[in-house]
Amino acid sequence: MRRLIFILALALLVCLGIGGCTPRRVGEAMNRADSLMTSAPDSALALLDAIDPATLRTDAARARHAVLLTRARHLAYVPVYDDSLIAIGTDYYATHGTHAEKAEAFYMSSVVNHYNNRYEQSIVDGLRAEKHALATSDHLLLGLVYRTIADGFDRLYDWSSALHYYTLSYDNFKLAPENIYTDWAGIDLARAYLYQGELNKCIELADKAIEHGKQNNDNAILVETYRMLGNGYSWSGNHSLVIDFYDKVIEIAPETMTERDYSNLGSAYLSLGNTDKANQYQACIYSLNPDNKSLESLISEHEGDYRNAYKLLTKELAYQNNIVSKITGRSYARTISDYFKTEENNSAIKIEKNRQLTVIISIASILIMISMIIIFNYRSRLQRHEKELIICEARELRNILQEKENEVSEVSEARSVSALAKENVRGLLASRFEILDRLCSTYFQFKGLSNERDKISNEVLSIISEIQNDKEMREKLEEIVNSSIGNLMARLRKDVPNLKERDYELYLFLILDFSPSAISIFQGDRTEAVYNRKSRLKRKIALSGSESVEEYLLYMR
């Protein structure tokens, strides 16, 4: 009974283990996707998309898959607007996982919020990611986190904070083993310096980016740097350089030009007296945004049409006021306070979970004690019951033993009958077959040697040859066996009629206990063949379905 309880408990644990584990192949697929994330994000995304969510049987597996899938989509330039996926990761890693896993989860949440223009929340998640990334000393991850925070402040027009975090991002990317983002971080930092009015620092970083872009034939970096410098020189009033840099952008990638770029370029031409070019770029602005009248008002003013210029400036002012209202509606103090409030809530949640864990452990201890008392009482009753069962089993064993003793008696009887049959055969053949058996053994021992004829006399060979072909003698032996062992051979022929005559002869020789050497000579077989034929004969008799199978097999042991 105790063994049964143990087996059931073990089976339950195994079932729980199987049901609670994520299949190994799913874990291997996620590991493979993680290793391909930077070098081949499209391949990583394909691996993660192929994973069936039903195979993610643990919270840890679901959280890891959510973070990796969000990251793969982001790196593969698939916009990630749906925040329900990354929420699976942040909800889990808020209280579980390593610092690296927490930092990765909150960083990706920051990216998703940035996609959705929720810049305050993006900054909050970035600050949460920073805290855990600092504990890992992962400069690449820190650079990404700082860049996302800086992007949030940039979109909120807080350029002072943006400059601070772009600087941190640039410094960490330079320290990363794979500084693949350093050039782009330099461009971001240069733009931040430009917005702060520090044009010289902007130009210094921009020159480095241009040099690297030309060395690596990276047109994307060149275009972004030229656009930034064109914008910067438009602020300083160097119209020739504005036209020069924007012309380079149009030469490499004209499709990347924005409203602001066309406005700066048109203003530069207008300042140099080229109204036709200004009108040309105003048309480009209309194609992108019909409500943008900034360059048109400048053209009207330049041509002396002040009434139209005033009208256009009024519309432009309303357009700018709309942007300003969005800026003034932002609350950066609230952003930071929300971050600390979130951290306090997380700490409170952690304390509450620890308290709940303590309560659960206490309850579990009490339940274990109660269970032990119940088990002790149960075992006491079980032992009394087992004693009664042992007495009953002893009685049953005594009956079984008596039955076995009867079976042994019957087997002994059968063996006695077999012995009697052999005695009759020996009486019939006198000493001839005993001598013959020895001669056969001698013949088998020296068979095949070069001096065989010297060791075995012609008379012995003649006797053996005579026995091999003496059908009458074998029939006589079979009659003796039948008369001595209850028609054993006759019953065998009737119950197993599909045997060959050589098989019946083999069974007869086995009953008479001839050695394998003698049988091999009588039937002209090798000794190994005799053993193999004996095994096959046993199998055929066993499969015959006869009621006397056990008796037939008894004489073959």
pLDDT tens digits for 206-249? 888 898 888 989 888 899 898 988 888 887 788 888 889 889 99
Measured from the Cβ of residue 13, the count of other Cβ atoms closer than 10 Å reads 10
Per-residue pLDDT, 169: 92
Highest mean predicted confidence (pLDDT) among 2-11, 90-99, 320-329: 90-99
Lowest mean pLDDT among 122-126, 343-347, 432-436: 432-436
Lowest mean pLDDT among 37-51, 437-451, 507-521: 437-451
Q: Residue 124 and residue 399: Cα distance in Å, rounded?
A: 83
CB 534 within 8 A of CB 506: yes
Measured from the Cβ of residue 173, the count of other Cβ atoms closer than 10 Å reads 24
CB 16 within 8 A of CB 5: no
pLDDT tens digits, one per residue of 14-48: 344 434 445 678 888 999 999 988 889 999 999 99
> In 272-331, which residue ranges form alpha helices assigned H by DSSP?
275-288, 294-303, 306-328
Reported confidence tier of residue 432, pLDDT bands at 50, 70, 90: very low
Q: What is the pTM of this model?
A: 0.54
pLDDT tens digits, one per residue of 375-408: 877 877 777 777 677 777 666 666 666 665 665 4
Three-state DSSP class for 287? helix
How high does pLDDT run on average in the chain?
78
Three-state DSSP class for 518? helix
CB 529 within 8 A of CB 520: yes
Highest mean predicted confidence (pLDDT) among 58-67, 199-208, 376-385, 493-502: 58-67
Per-residue pLDDT, 276: 83
pLDDT tens digits, one per residue of 278-315: 788 888 888 888 877 777 777 776 666 556 555 555 65
List, in order, residues 6 or more apart from 318 with CB less than 8 Å away: none
The fraction of the chain above a pLDDT of 70, given in percent, is: 72
Three-state DSSP class for 555? coil
Residue 536 has pLDDT above 70, yes or no: yes
Return the beta strands (E) in 333-447 as ranges: none
Reported confidence tier of residue 177, pLDDT bands at 50, 70, 90: confident
Q: Residue 205 and residue 183: Cα distance in Å, rounded?
A: 9
Top pLDDT among 464 and 196 is at: 196
Measured from the Cβ of residue 180, the count of other Cβ atoms closer than 10 Å reads 10
Reported confidence tier of residue 98, pLDDT bands at 50, 70, 90: very high
Q: How large is the average pLDDT for residues 136-141?
A: 89
Reported confidence tier of residue 522, pLDDT bands at 50, 70, 90: confident
Q: Residue 365 and residue 205: Cα distance in Å, rounded?
A: 65
Q: Residue 407 and residue 404: Cα distance in Å, rounded?
A: 5
Q: Residue 502 and residue 508: Cα distance in Å, rounded?
A: 10
Tokens found for residue 236:
């300083």
Residue 457 has pLDDT above 80, yes or no: no
Per-residue pLDDT, 90: 93
List, in order, residues 6 or more apart from 397 with CB less than 8 Å away: none
Top pLDDT among 460 and 56 is at: 56
Per-residue pLDDT, 120: 92
Query: Which one, of 169, 174, 208, lies nearest residue 189 by Cα?
Result: 169
